[in-house]
Each structure stands twice: as structure tokens, then as C-alpha cells.
Amino acid sequence: MPVADYFTASRCLAATAILMLPCVASAHVSEQGLVLLLPTDFYIASGVLVVILTVLLLLLLPVNLSAGLFTKRDLYRLPGFRGNRLQTYTSLLSLVVLALLLYLGVSGTRDPLENPLPLFIWTVWWIGLPILQAVFGDSWQWLNPWLGVYRLATNHGWRAPFVLPESVGLWPGILIFILFTSFALADIAPDSPRRLAYFVGGYWCFTMLCMLLFGEQWLIRGECFSMLMNRFSKLSVFGVVRSIERQRVLAIGLPGWKSMSCKASSVSAAIFILVLLGSGSFDGLNETFTWLAMIGVNPLEFPGRSAVVSETVTGLLVSNLLLIVVYGFCVFAGVWFANHRFPLEKQISFTAGFCALAISVLPIAVAYHFAHYLVTLLVNGQYVIAALSDPLANGADWLNLGAYYVTTGFLNTPASVKTIWLTQAGAVVTGHVLSVLLAHAVAIELFGNARRAIVSQAPLAVFMVVYTFIGLWLLAAPKGA
């Protein structure tokens, strides 16, 4: 063998040996490529059948039982305390934590799986907190990082110089949420610590300025995350209400019972709920082989986010618009059927039906949020624990974890993957069942009797059954982006 060939072969063997050495590997699932090798056709069909049977069951339930499904039950009276002052303190504390995270985002490690800022924003705040809102109730009112500063300013004489006109509705919040979702899905590096720090810091300053100009109304109609957290909290089984004696009472009820008293009061409020669902659904579609094929991208040779920015933003807008149009058509058809089938009854307008029934899709949005992000939460949640133990990425071990390694082993065995899939599918089906029940209760309240409500619900029931199939398919579809 010639000497040159000998050295070439030696280098190849050495490189191969080095590559085969064991080492610690970092992993995350925000850009996942996963093909779910399970017999999902059976599970999808079963989930759709459960929703269909729920619709049929409502035809047989007595009207008083259907209307009373979302009645609350008082548990006990809560002691009185000065909640506003406590909210101010917890909000200021939340702001201090945010400031520390922003500092670490700018000055800390560039690795998004070690820097606490992207882990906190995308895993704890964006994935985990909305789920906690839906389970335990509104904790965001205590964690909001703007309220404390604003109340300190008002305590020192500041008064907002402008008032948001009622005609503005919730459109500012809708626009900001779509811009945020575009950043999350289409930006070339949304988890870059420094880039994210500038984005989050800029948004805090923008929102603080709007609050100083328009007051706390901005949190209700312009700050999209407060709007989202508030609506997700309406699905909690727990809630604090005021009794006849004006005392605070802890109450409990079927998930969604609080939604019955806070239905959308305007078209923009209804559309915001639909945008929550549409954006979440597109987030799932955006990762699938099907979507990549639609935009002409080979999923096995994904060119990167920068090559599909316009396609992603366009897909997000079209998905939301399509959902609003389809939902609106179903509501219009149901209202038209009910009005013409019972012409002597009080006629209900399309706008009234559109606004009132929009709250019924909220359980689907929450369920899909949980199902879509479950794997990410399980994996990146481990990175969060590691970052809490070593926030400066300097080898510290504040939580005394010892040799701590992030594992994705539960994605490698059929039994654990099946458990995850059944959990996701169960959440989606449960959300759709709750939506059907909630829509029926709202329709009875809107139309005044069960017969008109059932007639009006036929198109919307078809919509929910089809959307159940779509949601389960999105979970099982091969993903590559």
C-alpha cells in the first residue's frame, strides 16, 4: 500500500473510533422529527365515536339536567384580605425575577438548553402556566409583571390620559397575539437567549407604556397573554365568586362552569378565542410532513426556518381565517335552522349566536395546547430543573442534583410512547366532549328551550366531530420540521 493511502486509511479509522466513543448528548424536541409507529386509526376512530355518542346523548338528556351541568357548588367562605396590595407585591416580585432572567439572557450562555431565559419563557411560562391556569384557576393575576409598577405610579398621582374606545374591542390583543405566534413559529431563532431577551424586554416596555396611556383596560383588551390566561382560567373546576352577602366563596363545578357567566361580549372577543384554537392547530400542522409537502419542502432535507418564513406566516393567517369562516358558517346555519323551524319564537341574530357559542371551543384550545406540548414539557422540563440548579452555567449545583442527565428514553419504547399518545388523545377527546356539553348548555340559555337548542347545534356538532378527527390526526401525523 502506498504511504499516502496508508495515512488516509489511518485517519479514517481514527475518526471512526472517535465518533464511536460514548459521550453526553444534548437533545430537545422543539424541532422534532417523530413518526408515531402505533395503530392510531383505531384510537382516532374511538375518539371521534366518543364525541358522536356525546352529541347523541344530549338528545336524550332532560333539559333541566343539560342546562344544569355547569352549575357551581359553593364549598366554603374565604377570609377577607387586602388582595390588591398583595397583587402589587407579587407583581413586583415577578418583575424582579423577569429582570434577572433578561440579564441572564443577555450575559449568560448562548445555549438555549442551558440559559434560564428561553427555558423559562418557552417551557414554564408559555407551556406550563396556561395548563396550570386551566387546572387551578387564575394565578396570572398575581404573577403579572406590569400591574405592580402601574399601581405604584397611580398611587403617586399618575392617571391614564386616554380611554380605549369600546369600538376598538379586543382587536389590539388579537393583532399582538398573531404577531407573537408569527415570531414563535417563523423567526429564525426564537429561542436564542440574547434575541429572546430583546424581544421580551421590548414587549414589557411596550405594554407598560400602553398601560400608562390607557390604564388597566389594556390588560383586558390589548395585552394578549393576560387575555389568554384569563380565558384559560375559566376552565378550572375551582373559582372564587361573590355571595349575596358580598363575601368571597370558593366554588367548584364542571370544567367550564365559569365560562357560562363570561361569554364573549363582542365579535372581537369571540374571534380571539377562535384565534387561540386556530394558532394552536397550525402550530401542530406546521411540523408535519403533510404541511412540508404542501409548501414543496422535503421533510428529510429541511432547509431551515429562514427558507419558509413567508409560507409559515401565510399558513398561520389562512388557518385562522379558515377556522373563523367555517365556525361562522356552522353557527349561521344553526341559527337559521332554529329561527325558521320555530318562526313564532324569539329570533336570535347571527351575531348573538357567534359571540355566545364561541366560548364552547375554548376547551378544545386548552386540550390541544396540553396535548401538543406534552412531549416538549416532559423533555425541556428536565432542562428547566438543570438550569435552576446551575443558572449561570458555571458548574454549580444549587439543588444538589449530582450527575444529572436529561433523558428522552421514554420516547424509545412502545409502552411509554403508547402511554404518551393515549394521554394526548384522551385530553383532546375530553376537550371536545366538554365543548359539546358547553355548547349545548349555552344554546339552551340562548334559544330558551331544548328543542331549538338541539336544532341549532346540528352544524356545530358536525364541526366538533370533524375537528376531533383533525386534532387526533395532527398528534399522530409524522413530523419533520
CB neighbour list of residue 13: distance below 8 Å, 6 or more residues apart: none
Q: Can you tell me the distance from the alpha carbon of 260 to that of 338, in angstroms, rounded to the nearest whole number?
A: 21
The pLDDT, as a whole number, for residue 353 is: 94
Name the CA radius of gyration of the chain, rounded: 25
- What is the residue-wise DSSP string for 274-300? HHHHHHHHHHHHTTBHHHHHHTT--GG
Closest CA to 375 of 424, 319, 307: 424
Give pLDDT, residue 383.
Answer: 95
H or E stretch covering 251: strand 248-252
For residue 33, give the amino acid letter.
G
Only one residue has cell 366563596, namely 249
Residue pair 356/263 in contact (Cβ under 8 Å)? The answer is yes
The pLDDT assigned to 395 comes to 86
- Supply the DSSP string of 332-389, one letter for each residue: HHHHHHHHHHSTTSPPPPHHHHHHHHGGGGHHHHHHHHHHHHHHHHHHHHHHHHHHHH
202-216: pLDDT as tens digits: 999 999 999 999 999
Low-confidence residues of the chain, pLDDT below 70?
1-39, 63-64, 66-67, 80-83, 243-245, 481
Identity of the amino acid at 421: W
